[in-house]
Homo-oligomer: A and B are copies of this chain.
């Protein structure tokens, strides 16, 4: 099986936001699609170790901001490569709240879907949530950012490892998976989150 064949699946890039026990948090995800009509429902898949995933399980609601093509790497880095357990990701942003109290941003976003979970299925690595869309509205008229354009245009090229230091492993910037060894194969696929080799950073001795 050539796991890199899965990289041909097309996705958008989304800010997934929830609120639980008086606390707001959000993460970046690329997995969301409409799955049914009448009423409109979407499915999202979220990594189980994410705080946002835990919060959605508890609260039963979330909003999904469809990020647009003005979105910066800083935003992806802040919401996608840190845990809400360590910092308040929303600090410093101009915030709006949906009807359930979950935050969304008034920039970088072309549309917001306000959703209530109707079913969830724990798949081990991720939980799949099916949710009814309670409200949907447009924010900007910019085109949505695709996951392919994020990789080609928004994400910085991987930096060359420092030559004077010894690499002992590689860490996935998305989920934290650790690969032991100096050389990470170019076609490596993260076994936890399925992201490619260029989402890994070197770990030095």
List chain A positions with a Cβ less than 8 A from chain B: 1-6, 8-12, 31-38, 40-43, 45, 66, 110-113, 119, 121, 123-126, 128, 130, 133-138, 143-144, 146-148, 190-194
Contact = CB atoms under 8 A, between A and B. Distances in A.
A65 B2 CA distance: 14
A127 to B, nearest CB: 9
A66 B128 contact: no
A121 B130 contact: yes
A1 B43 CA distance: 18
Given A35-B128, A36-B45, A37-B126, A138 B9 contact: no
Contacts of A45: 33-36, 43
A135 B2 CA distance: 8
Contacts of A11: 10, 33
B192 A37 contact: yes
Nearest to A46: B35
9 contacts: A1-B134, A5-B136, A10-B11, A10-B147, A32-B33, A35-B126, A38-B192, A41-B123, A146-B148
B40 A6 contact: yes
B31 A33 contact: yes
A143 B8 CA distance: 8
B34 A9 contact: yes
A65 to B, nearest CB: 10
A146 B144 CA distance: 12
A66 B4 CA distance: 13
A191 B37 contact: yes
A126 B34 CA distance: 10
A146 B38 contact: no
Nearest to A123: B36
10 tightest CB-CB pairs across the interface, nearest first? A10-B12, A36-B123, A5-B111, A5-B136, A35-B45, A8-B111, A8-B66, A37-B125, A36-B126, A37-B194
